[in-house]
Every structure is written in C-alpha cells, then in structure tokens.
Structure 1
Amino acid sequence: MGPLHYQVDPARCTECVGFYDKPTCIEVCPIDCIEIVS
C-alpha cells in the first residue's frame, strides 16, 4: 500500500494477546473501522 493506507495482515495478527491490554491497531487507526472477531 502506501503511507496513507493501513493494512493488517490477518495471518500475522495476534490481536496483541499477551502483549498489550487492547489491540494496538485500534489505538492507532485514524478511523473506527477495525472489528475484532471473537
């Protein structure tokens, strides 16, 4: 992509379990579009 687009690789995503209290992608995403599927 480019500097204005964010992309989460689902194959590498751990939802930050064991690293952070909340997924960091949600914290840094400029719009409310990330949905965590349980």
Structure 2
Amino acid sequence: MEECGGNCTKSARILGISRMTLYNKIRSYGIEVKK
C-alpha cells in the first residue's frame, strides 16, 4: 500500500488479488489505510 500511495486498486493488481479481497483482508487485520 505504501508503494502505491494508498491506491487499493493498484495494490490489489500488484498482489494478484481482487480489490474486494484486499479490502476484506485490510478490514480483517485491522489495518489503517492512509491516503
């Protein structure tokens, strides 16, 4: 997320997962995303 400047779509693409999967993982781990 830091490398992508908080851009979830770009981060998900790099990780090879869907944007919704990334959002769910962020929420489940309690990660705070700063834009």
Confirm or deny a common fold (TM above 0.5).
no
- Which of 1 and 2 has greater Rg? 1
Bigger relative CO (Cα 8 Å, ≥ 6 apart):
2
The structure whose residues are more often helix, as a share, is 2
TM-score bin (small chain): under 0.3
TM-score, scaled to structure 1: 0.24
